[in-house]
Structure 1
Amino acid sequence: MLEERQEELINSVLEDDKEKIHEITDNMYPIDIAIIIEEFDDESLMKFNEHIDNELMAEIIEQASEELQVRIIKLFEFKSIVHLFSYMSNDDIADILGNLPIKMRKDLLKLMKTGDTRQLQELLGYDEDSAGGIMTTEYIALRGDLLIGESLKKIKEIGPKTEVIETIFVLNNNKELIGTADLRDILVAPEDEKLLNIMNDNIISVHPEEDQEKVSLLVSKYDLKAIPVIN
């Protein structure tokens, strides 16, 4: 089946048939598309990119092999790559940047927003097999004195842009972590209850340098959906 799709997609790109390309890719997973376009020459890759939306291309790049990721970034204009990065989470961007030559990585970081650059540089500073190397900077942290109704409103606003949503991190007024709350518990709690009254204050955390295998064991042992990484 994938071989048939591969031939169809190749022919559609060669014929510049945008409608057919959309018809084919709409019924495929990004990982399968990434496998197919790995065989494309540079011209076909550029044509393919012109005919699909940026969000799908970002998903394809996320799923692509390291070799294809580097090839695409070398082939496309850096401004286009930065625009595609806007559809990805920072930890996925950091993984991609980590495979690039240093000069190329620096040039891309210069084009990005200051806040994003700071977070990415932090992620890039950790070994890929450490907790810091696999962590995300995109999570929801709310003050514990918020009411559940207020918390839900903020979760709805922030959630679509966030990678970790099942676990909500709870902070005090000094922005220090004081607990975590499961999204399900928040959804069933009375709206006039304070977030800190339903949180779990028994915090299990790891340091950025912790080996990711130890992190996985902790996640499995305590059935965690997320674990805070604390310096």
Structure 2
Amino acid sequence: MRIVKFYEILAEVEAMIESNDDLKLHTYLENMHAADISEILENLDEADQIYLFGLLSDELATEVLEELNSEDFSSLLHALTYEKKVAVLDLMSQDEIVDKLSDLPENRQKEIIAFLDFEDAEDVKELLVYEDSTAGRLMTKDFVSIQKNYTIYYAIETLRAIAPDAETIYYVYVTDDQERLVGVISLRELIVSAPNRTVSSVMNENLITVHVDDDQEEVAQIVSKYDLLAVPVVDSEGILQGIITVDDVLDIIEEEATEDFYKFAGSSDEEAYEHDTTLKVRVFASIRSRLPWLIVTIFGGLLSASVLAYFEKTISANASLALFMPLLAGMGGNVGTQSSTITVRNIATHEIEGTGIFKTLIHEISVGLIVGIVCALIVAVAAIIMETEYHIAIIVGISMWANMSTAATIGTIVPLVFKKIGVDPAVASAPFITTTIDLTGLSIYFTLATIMLAGL
């Protein structure tokens, strides 16, 4: 929904709530998407949330719960009748339940799990044991599997029986007598195959799988690379434990991109407003994540000040040199940040492997050299127009070129070095890059100025 349209709909819903027109409101909501209803709920007070949610059918209520954050999920669920709790939780997918429970206190987790049937409760408890952000935590056990010795006819009959409870049926996984994953068959292949053939004769044995302990980012990369709708999750013995569907992968991609974005800015995703935290907690989280990088920047600034102090005589003798310091620092910082952003992105997508490292270095350094020449000429001409002496214009131009070339090199090398030593490249954040470039830029500028002016 567009923002203006959303607020129009919100006002209309609030009017119907105020008039207690249950039938009209129920009909109106049933024609809306669950994501839009969840957004409306977030803008209502608690009493209105409970009233509106109570008007939804079980199916739509389940979809809305899956869209909500953990706090609102817990709050709304708590307000429902016992029968409604059981109904909506029975319809929710296991991975969605686990996702919501992960952010709740242990006692609240146990309360909610108590409303699940025995089989689902055991599966959810098992999934919660896995480490956060791993394939095991993300997977669902609501999948379809058949034995390899089944006939196609019997496999289809089995599918009819178990498919209603499955997360997806586009891929049907094939196991042996020990529940080890041995193949996969698409729904289309299952339907078009002769009824008397065995599953093992038509299944695809070229499997793409992930391990229960694999990081969620690796899972997202595999699904993206092979264009899968779902990926099976196995343990160390090859036994099929669950599946991860593409909708969960999209959430992973967004989560990882957000995390890298915050890290690159010298912050953390704890500062995001969608986190279920009070203002006090969020303030302290912001301080904890930002302060270390700001302290790094302070020490970088002090080092820059010491560089200026070292060249004090040069600056005193040629005050016009100081006019171009902000320009040099700003341009160098911009180029460095651009190069580091591209490099971190390529590292995250695994495009920098083997010779890719050398190609990335050559690319960014070449870009730095070329844009440095163009910007150097522009700055030199501008310096002359400002009636600066010609030798100062030459110094500024050469320094600009050298600074931008160096900045591109630093912005590329730092993330690569971090990756090599096992540190998340995203922490090669803007404060670190710009501080380093400020030091090198000032050193280049005033060293060149001292040398050239000494010869005049």
TM-score by length of 1: 0.91
Partner secondary structure for residue 227 of structure 1? strand
8 A Cα contact 2:89 2:116, kept in partner: no
Task: Give the distance between the partners of 2:226 and 2:212, measured in 1 at CA.
Answer: 19
Q: Any idea what the Cα deviations from partners look like across 1:97-146, whole Å, max 9, x if unmatched?
A: 11222111112223322211111011112233211121111100111121
CA distance in 1, matches of 2:80, 2:105: 15
- Structure 1 spans left out of the alignment, 5+ residues: none
Aligned pairs, number? 231
Residue 228 of structure 2 is aligned to residue 224 of structure 1: yes
Q: Distance in 2 between matches of 1:27 and 1:78?
A: 26
* Structure 2 residue identity aligned to 1:63: E
CA contact (8 A) 1:42 1:75 kept: no
1:109 aligns with 2:75: no
Q: Secondary structure at the match of 2:16?
A: helix
Q: Please, which of 47, 54, 74 is the counterpart of residue 70 of structure 1?
A: 74
Counterpart check, 1:184 vs 2:188: yes
Measured in 1, the distance between the counterparts of 2:83 and 2:30 equals: 26
- Are the counterparts in 1 of residues 71 and 104 from structure 2 also a CA contact under 8 Å? no
Out of 127, 145, 150, the position equivalent to 1:146 is 150
1:27-52, Cα deviation, whole Å (9 max, x unpaired)? 21101111111122222122223322
Aligned pair in 2 of structure 1 residues 18, 28: CA closer, same or farther (>3 Å)? same
Q: Report the Cα distance in structure 1 between the residues aligned to 2:49 and 2:31, rounded to whole angstroms.
A: 19
| Aligned amino acid, residue 62 of structure 2 | A
Counterpart position of 1:174: 178
From the superposition, tell whether residues 216 and 46 of structure 1 become closer, same or farther in structure 2 (CA, over 3 Å): closer
Moved more, 36-45 or 55-64: 36-45
- Offset of residue 153 of structure 1: 2.0
Q: Deviations over 1:180-215 (max 9, x none)?
A: 111121122112211111111233322211011111
Work out which of the residue numbers 29, 32, 56 in structure 2 matches 1:28.
32
Structure 2 CA distance for partners of 1:99 and 1:155, relative to 1, 3 Å: same
Is the Cα–Cα contact under 8 Å of residues 152 and 197 in structure 2 kept in the other structure?
yes
Shifted more, 220-229 versus 98-107: the winner is 220-229
Letter in 1 for 2:167: E
Q: In 1, distance between residues paired with 2:103 and 2:124? A: 13
* CA–CA separation in structure 2 for the residues paired with 1:146 and 1:43: 54
- Mapped to 1, the partners of 2:49 and 2:233 lie a distance apart of 38
* Contact kept? 2:58, 2:84, Cα under 8 Å: no
Q: Which has the higher contact order (CA 8 A, sep 6+)?
A: 1
Check the 8 A contact 2:113/2:121 in 1, yes or no.
Answer: yes
* Equivalences for residues 43-58 of structure 1 within 5 A: 43-58=47-62
Take 2:215 and 2:77, find their aligned partners in 1: how far apart are those partners? 30
Quote how far apart the aligned CAs of 1:79 are. 5.5
User: What secondary structure sits across from 1:49 in the alignment?
Assistant: helix
Q: Hey, what does 1:162 align to over in structure 2?
A: 166
CA deviation digits over 1:40-84, x for unaligned, max 9?
A: 222212222332212111111111233322322343356633331
- Cα distance in 2 for partners of 1:57, 1:10 equals 19
Give the share of equivalent positions with the same residue, in percent. Answer: 29
The code of the aligned residue for 2:38 comes to: A
* Aligned residue number for residue 118 of structure 1: 122
Counterpart residue number, 2:442? none
Partner SS state of residue 150, structure 2: coil
Question: How far, CA to CA, are the matches of 1:180 and 1:164 in structure 2?
Answer: 13
Mean alpha-carbon deviation: is it higher for 22-31 or for 73-82? 73-82
2:61 alignment partner AA: M
Q: Which amino acid is 1:152 matched to? A: I
Shift of 1:155: 1.6
Distance 1:174 1:203, change over 3 A: same
Partners of 1:148 and 1:193 within 8 A in 2: yes
What is the identity, as a one-letter code, of the residue corresponding to 2:53?
N
Unmatched runs of 5 consecutive residues or more in structure 2: 236-456
Which of the numbers 20, 32, 50 marks the counterpart of 1:16?
20
* Aligned equivalents of 2:60, 2:229: Cα separation in 1: 27
RMSD (Å), alpha carbons: 1.9
Give distance in 1, aligned partners of 2:229 and 2:46: 40
Mapped pair 1:199 → 2:199: no
Q: Distance in 2 between matches of 1:55 and 1:115?
A: 21
Out of 92-101 and 66-75, give the one that drifted further: 66-75
For normalisation by structure 2, the TM-score amounts to: 0.48
Q: What does residue 84 of structure 1 align with? A: 88
Using a 3 Å threshold, how does the CA distance of structure 1 residues 68 and 111 change in structure 2: closer, same or farther? closer
Determine if contact 1:144/1:195 at 8 Å carries over to the other structure: yes
